[in-house]
Amino acid sequence: MNTRSPRSLKQLCIEVADSAIALRDDLCLFCTFSRQLGKATLDAIRHPRKIRRYDVYYYMDNCGSDAMPIIALLGFLIGVILAFQAIVQLRRFGVESYVVNLVGTVIVTELAPLVTAVVLAGRTGSSFAAELGTMKADEEIDAMVTMGFDPGRFLLFPKMLALLLIMPGLTIISDVCGISGGMVIVCSMLQVSTGEYLTKTFEIIQPIDLAQGLVKSFVFAVIVAGIGCMKGVNAERNAQGVGRSATSAVVTSIFLIVVTDAILTSCFGIAS
């Protein structure tokens, strides 16, 4: 029976060097992409009438309306699961009345924006990467540059603006559905009326909690749209490259979303 030989120090150093080179290349691509997107954003701010409104409406409909059912369903189910588990655990200490506090605060500040961002990363970020990767493979982006069109204005900025506009709305929908799911469990297991549940929820949720969720949704929108577009623009010019760019967009976006969520939560915790 053949056994796998341990890696030598030389092989380990080569792998570390390759990872460092790949990280350097990604940082260079990110800087180039950020400059291109920043130029398109400044041009849109200076000349609002040049914004391709119909492209923005198309992506808002494609990314927002079509994603609304799955986000609402996930928000409702997460509220149900969170309330049920909270009741089981808090009942051991006789403080199950605080379930409403837990469900309302956690959903609004953490779970709703996080779940919405993860769903859009898998659904919209991969779509952006695949669309732009296919255009690059077919040399459509090169043709636009040759004819004097700015890809940042025509391809990147409408996607970014569309996600910035629809992400907060989807987060609020997830908030409402999550609180509704918690209400179903709390009212049925603790014999609490709907009016009491909603009254206590509105007392617990402070404006800073809602602001925290909305700020996270804006930041997550930038991450999802930016990473999806960056991976698509820098995809290899073949079918395998398009697939890898879509996969990499999802993985990178989710990783950055979780890291950013931890940083923002710490910042809001220190500020409060």
Please give the share of the chain, as a percent, with pLDDT higher than 90. Answer: 33
Query: Buried b / exposed e across 108-121, counting CB within 10 Å, b at 16+?
Result: bbbbbbbbbbbbbb
Q: What tens digit of pLDDT does each residue of 78-107 get?
A: 999 999 998 888 888 888 778 888 888 999
Whether the predicted pLDDT of 5 surpasses 60 = no
pLDDT at position 17, please?
82
Q: What confidence category does residue 6 fall into, taking pLDDT thresholds of 50, 70 and 90?
A: low
Round to whole Å and give the CA distance between 236 and 43: 28
**DSSP state, 50?**
G
The chain-wide mean pLDDT, for the chain, equals: 86
pLDDT of residue 258: 93
> pLDDT band at 49, cuts 50/70/90?
confident
Whole-model pTM: value is 0.87
pLDDT tens-digit series, residues 106-161: 999 999 999 999 999 998 999 999 999 998 888 888 888 888 888 888 888 899 99
Pick the more confident residue, 266 or 44.
Answer: 266
Q: What is the mean pLDDT of residues 39-57?
A: 83
pLDDT of residue 7: 59
Q: Is 271's pLDDT higher than 80? A: no
Q: Which amino acid is at 147?
A: M
Q: Give the pLDDT confidence score for residue 44 in this predicted structure.
A: 80
Name the 3-class secondary structure at 104. helix
Which amino acid is located at 167 in the chain?
M
- What is the band of 1 on the pLDDT scale with cuts at 50, 70, 90? very low
CB-CB contact of 157 with 51 (8 Å): yes
**Cβ pair 242, 235 in contact under 8 A:** yes
Contact indicator for 120, 167 with CB cutoff of 8 Å? yes
